[in-house]
Amino acid sequence: MTLTLAPEQARRIAVRAQLLDARRPVSLVATVDQLTLLQIDPTKAIAPSADLVAWSRLGDAYDHSDLTFALEQERSLVEFSSFVFPMDEIETVLALSPGRIHPTAVEWVEANNRFRTQVLDRLRADGPLVAGEIEDTAEVPWASTGWTNDKNVLRMIELLNRMGEVAVAGRRGKLRTWDLAERVYPADLRLPSPEEALHVETVRRLASLGIARPGRKESSGGEMLGAGDTGVPCTVAGADGEWRVDPEALAALEDVFAPRTALLSPFDRLVYDRDRALDLFGFEYVLEMYKPAAKRRWGYFALPILHGERLVGKLDAKVDHKKGVLNVFAVHEDFGWTAEIGDAVEAEIEALAGWLGVEIARH
């Protein structure tokens, strides 16, 4: 007989797996290890997404300098593509990355072999460097109508990063600095086979989500979603179709669930798979910063609001760093809140302002 979970059980599994119950993780590195990654996004309407995700787990114990230290000094974390990963998992990442590069991009690198060699030689001699410090000697320009047009050096470096030859060494302001991979990654790397790496990635992903749909699909950001064929097959009452649940998360269902309230980044993994968020939490969400203001329902960079095991609304807010204020434009309730929910959300908004070091301005 197929296991059937109550909706509350499924949601609690998901919340616990994402470190969003009352138990706070012990460190930033432990947080990233459980989440498997932090997505990097330049939007700073409130704070960079990676910082928001870390703060929502660690609270005031987290400071942005902790991420910089882990990436550039301790080397316990590493930036790769658009994500931060535990350095301990870079072997899995590197084993899978080349197979996920579009064939036309591989062909472009091969057509520019001399350019590729010159980029590597320059980094070997003078790295770490930002892309703008490397001469563009491409024989075949990168063809694009988008933001990568006429950015041959950056495109080459990013592809060499995904091929495992170049690594992000740090940041100079907002710009990434690049160096040879051998100077950034551990010297004793032993890459698993792609098949082994895919299994490890899938198992870790399910553990970080707690519960997910079977199979795999690629998100618009290039990240894989879904539990593959790992985990325990189950159904969730009220949600059509099959799910897979992490065995350890299933065993922990008997433990007391300790709830809390949290403000989440729009890129938080609890809500990143919008279909999953709708199926499990009944939570509808669209990141509206790309929409005209008149067509937004919840706001430019609305933060999903978690209370207990439920996603209950969105916070429309933006920081004005010059004035030192957190502008709160609206708090959207997905249903009629109790006074308890309202008070808990208000306390979390105040905590956010305190962490940012700003005052609250309501509009």
List CB contacts of 318: < 8 A, sequence separation 6 or more.
45, 46, 300, 301, 326, 327, 329
CATH architecture, range 95-183: Orthogonal Bundle (1.10)
**Which stretches of the chain drop beneath a pLDDT of 50?**
none
> Cis bond leading into 247, ω under 30°?
no
Collapsing DSSP states into helix, strand and coil, what is residue 108?
helix
- What the block records as the tokens of 328 is 């709160």
Using an 8 Å Cβ cutoff, are 119 and 127 in contact? Answer: no
Rounded to 5°, the CA angle 298-300-303 comes to: 65
Separation between Cα atoms, residue 21 and residue 4, nearest integer Å: 23
Q: How many CB atoms lie within 10 A of CB 139?
A: 10
Closest CA to 52 of 360, 271, 225: 271
Domain extents in the chain: 95-183
Write out the two tokens for 87: 């350095």
**For the whole model, what pTM was predicted?**
0.95
Q: What is the dihedral of CA 87, 90, 91, 93, to 10 degrees?
A: 160
Q: Which of 359, 361, 363, 356 is nearest to 44 (CA)?
A: 356
Q: Which token pair is 66?
A: 């902790």
Instruction: Give CA 140 to chain center in angstroms.
Output: 33
Alpha helices in the chain (DSSP H): 7-17, 28-35, 49-58, 64-72, 90-96, 103-111, 113-126, 152-162, 181-184, 194-209, 247-251, 274-281, 339-356
Angstrom distance (rounded) from CA 285 to CA 41 = 18
The model's pLDDT over 246-284, given as tens digits with 9 standing for 90+, comes to 999 999 999 999 999 999 999 999 999 999 999 999 999
